[in-house]
């Protein structure tokens, strides 16, 4: 071998300790993780099927129990009010974990210097999220029909219910966008605070 070949061999030889042998239970751990993933997917499919079944049953139940006038459905005003509140609660229950699931990785990137603060931040934003949803539902619930409403559901009441659902989605969307903008600033401030020397 020439000197150049020796130099190339030295340069390309991996430095540091010898590579470790893979653990003997590696295959078992991989198979367990695959089984966990299958169980999680099966659980998600069951939850989605349960939600779909519940929604279909609710729609069919309302259609069957609603009285008819001249062959047309005539729904009492309070049935739509209950359905709107149930829809708001369902959105809150579904949207909260959905946002939290994808927000953990973002919070971990932002608070990489102090992960415990990131976990606490996620918990606090969850509390704020459910407080906003609860307050919105309590503020907009109708215990008696408005003066302009009739005994039966009208287009005006339906528009009011759709406005309530769209309003909470808009509020949560705006607050979530502000949270995405503010979180990196807070993460940077906390990171600088940890690096400053203690007095």
- Residue 71: strand pairing partners: none
Q: Are 111 and 156 part of one and the same domain?
A: yes
Q: Are 89 and 60 part of one and the same domain?
A: no
- Identify whether 142 is part of a domain: yes
| Residue 140 near residue 92 (C-beta atoms within 8 A) | no
Query: Which residues, in sequence order, are CB contacts of 66 under 8 Å at separation 6+?
Result: 73, 74, 75, 76, 79
pTM of the model: 0.61
Q: Are 82 and 43 part of one and the same domain?
A: no
Q: Are 25 and 100 part of one and the same domain?
A: no
Q: Are 46 and 111 part of one and the same domain?
A: no
Q: Are 60 and 86 part of one and the same domain?
A: no
Largest CA distance in the chain: 101
| Residue 87 near residue 168 (C-beta atoms within 8 A) | no
pLDDT tens-digit map of 138-189: 999 888 887 777 777 777 888 888 999 999 999 988 988 888 888 888 877 8
What distance lies between CA 101 and its chain's CA centroid?
6
Instruction: Using pLDDT thresholds of 50, 70 and 90, give the confidence band for residue 54.
Output: confident
Helix (H, G, I), strand (E, B) or coil at 73: strand
- Higher-pLDDT residue of 98 and 63 is 98
Nearest-angstrom CA–CA distance, 60 and 52? 12
pLDDT tens-digit map of 4-41: 676 767 766 655 555 556 677 777 878 888 888 888 88
Q: Are 117 and 172 part of one and the same domain?
A: yes
- The single residue listed with the structure tokens 């559901």 is 153
Domains contained in the chain, number = 2
Backbone phi and psi for residue 129, each to the nearest 5 degrees, phi listed first: -60, -50
Q: Are 101 and 35 part of one and the same domain?
A: no
Domain limits for position 157 = 74-199
Q: How many helices (H) and strands (E) does the chain have?
A: 5, 2
- Residue 76: strand pairing partners: 152
pLDDT tens-digit map of 79-135: 888 888 988 988 888 888 888 877 787 887 887 777 787 788 888 888 888 899 899
Nearest-angstrom CA–CA distance, 7 and 1? 10
């Amino acid at each position: 071998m020439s000197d150049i070949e020796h130099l190339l061999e030295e340069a390309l030889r991996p430095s540091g300790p010898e590579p470790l042998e893979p653990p003997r239970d590696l295959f078992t751990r991989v198979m367990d993780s695959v089984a966990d993933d299958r169980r999680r997917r099966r659980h998600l499919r069951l939850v989605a099927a349960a939600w779909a079944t519940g929604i279909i049953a609710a729609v069919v139940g309302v259609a069957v129990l609603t009285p008819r006038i001249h062959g047309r459905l005539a729904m009492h005003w309070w049935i739509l009010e209950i359905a709107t509140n149930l829809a708001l609660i369902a959105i809150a229950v579904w949207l909260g974990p959905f946002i939290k699931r994808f927000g953990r990785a973002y919070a971990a990137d932002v608070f990489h210097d102090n992960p415990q603060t990131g976990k606490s931040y996620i918990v606090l934003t969850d509390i704020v999220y459910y407080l906003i949803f609860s307050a919105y539902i309590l503020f907009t619930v109708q215990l008696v029909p408005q003066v302009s409403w009739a005994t039966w559901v009208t287009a005006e009441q339906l528009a009011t219910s759709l406005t309530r659902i769209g309003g909470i989605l808009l509020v949560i969307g705006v607050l979530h966008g502000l949270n995405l903008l503010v979180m990196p600033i807070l993460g940077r401030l906390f990171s600088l605070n940890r690096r400053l020397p203690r007095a």
